[in-house]
Amino acid sequence: MTSTDTEQTAREQAVTDEVVASFAEAKDDRYREVMESLVRHLHAFARDVRLTQEEWDAAIAFLTRVGHLTDDRRQEFILLSDVLGLSMLTVGMNAPPQQDATESTVFGPFFVDGAPEVEPGGDIAQGAPGIPCWVSGSVRATDGSPVPGARIDVWEADEDGFYDVQYEGNRTQGRGRLRSGADGGYRFWSVRPSPYSIPADGPVGELLARGGRGPMRPAHLHFMVTAPGFRRLVTHIFVDGDEYLDRDAVFGVKDSLVYAFTERNGGTAPDGSAREGVWNEVSFDIVLAPEASSVGTAPEEAR
């Protein structure tokens, strides 16, 4: 390394050191730890790739567009985190696999709080297009005991690959909130999930296209389950045999979450109703980990 190189390195390190030191008086220890580490890693990244002024300008413009596109119906920042794998990394760090407990996966950008309450055996589809699907199972603790009264939020895309919030107006379809029964059981009607493209008409879509990556997600049904004494579970179940299971745009697939959706034709459904035409059913037993194993707590609105 020449003397010029050494001087340049020293100048760059001095900038980093000055910024890190600026957080020394932060009253919150965790805030100081996070911000100092963020500065060190962010500056190291810029030095590693020798970030140009033009590239920095483009990055600022990109993030600005992400912010402008984000509102209460579309979360482009969550989508960005998802496609960069940061969401799944955070899931993995904060919800490490626990033997016998259901695995977690990404939250996704389409959850909406305040979904309608659905009675046992009710229909969350509410007119969403798709093949009717009967979903049932139980909520239990890792020791096998039932968890009554667990709150179960469920949401999904319709057969055209769209969530209700992606349509104009204020429709509520393909989402609902249930409670597990005294025996831990739950059941509801919905529609068979379909694979779909994540929103690719914005900056995140451009990022994927430039990287030669596809925007598709395999068919899945979202669950968020909360109960006192247990850690919050955010997960999906994926449709076995889906062509996108091995190339999920947000890296959310886990083998333990792939389930068979059994096709039926007519006959009597598990709820005793007479069915005509094709319908599906799937059974998904949910096992919650005790709260003592949690790293953090659920947001107030999800309790």
pLDDT score, position 296: 42
Q: What is the mean pLDDT of residues 113-128?
A: 95
Decide: helix, strand or coil at residue 8. Answer: helix
Which range among 21-30, 159-168, 294-303 shows the weakest confidence by mean pLDDT?
294-303
Q: List the Cα angle 64/65/67 in 5-degree steps.
A: 65
- Checking if the pLDDT of 53 tops 80, the result is yes
- Checking if the pLDDT of 48 tops 90, the result is yes
Kindly list the distances between the CA atom of residue 52 and the CA atoms of 5, 224, 268, in Å, as whole numbers in the listed order: 17, 42, 65
Kindly list the distances between the CA atom of residue 279 and the CA atoms of 71, 193, 284, in Å, as whole numbers in the listed order: 35, 12, 17
Q: Report the sign of the C-alpha dihedral through residues 225, 194, 167, 83, in that order.
A: positive
- Structural domains in the chain, sorted by start: 3-51 (no CATH), 76-302 (2.60.130.10)
Contact in structure between 286 and 224 (CB atoms under 8 Å): no
- Checking if the pLDDT of 99 tops 50, the result is yes
Question: Residue 294: which pLDDT band, with cuts at 50, 70 and 90?
Answer: very low
Q: What is the 3-state secondary structure (H, E, C) of 231-242?
A: CCEEEEEEECCC
Contact in structure between 280 and 133 (CB atoms under 8 Å): yes
Contact in structure between 26 and 32 (CB atoms under 8 Å): yes
The pairing of beta strand 196-197 with beta strand 262-268: unpaired
Tokens of 252: 């959310």
Tokens of 19: 């910024």
Quick one: DSSP state of residue 146? B
Q: What is the pLDDT of residues 63-97, one digit of tens each?
A: 999 999 998 878 999 999 999 999 999 999 988 77
Q: Name, in order, each residue with C-beta under 8 angstroms of 5's C-beta and a sequence gap of 6 or more.
A: none
pLDDT score, position 1: 67
pLDDT score, position 302: 38
CA distance 180 to 190: 17
Quick one: DSSP state of residue 219? -
Q: Name, in order, each residue with C-beta under 8 angstroms of 103's C-beta and a sequence gap of 6 or more.
A: 95, 97, 235, 254, 256, 257
- Checking if the pLDDT of 180 tops 90, the result is yes
Q: What is the 3-state secondary structure (H, E, C) of 31-61?
A: HHHHHHHHHHHHHHHHHHHCCCHHHHHHHHH
Number of other CB atoms surrounding residue 249 within 10 Å: 20
Mean pLDDT rounded to a whole number for the chain: 93
pLDDT score, position 3: 72
- Checking if the pLDDT of 293 tops 70, the result is no
- Checking if the pLDDT of 258 tops 70, the result is yes
Q: What is the pLDDT of residues 277-292, one digit of tens each?
A: 999 999 999 999 998 7
Q: What is the pLDDT of residues 123-171, one digit of tens each?
A: 999 999 999 999 999 999 999 999 999 999 999 999 999 999 999 888 8
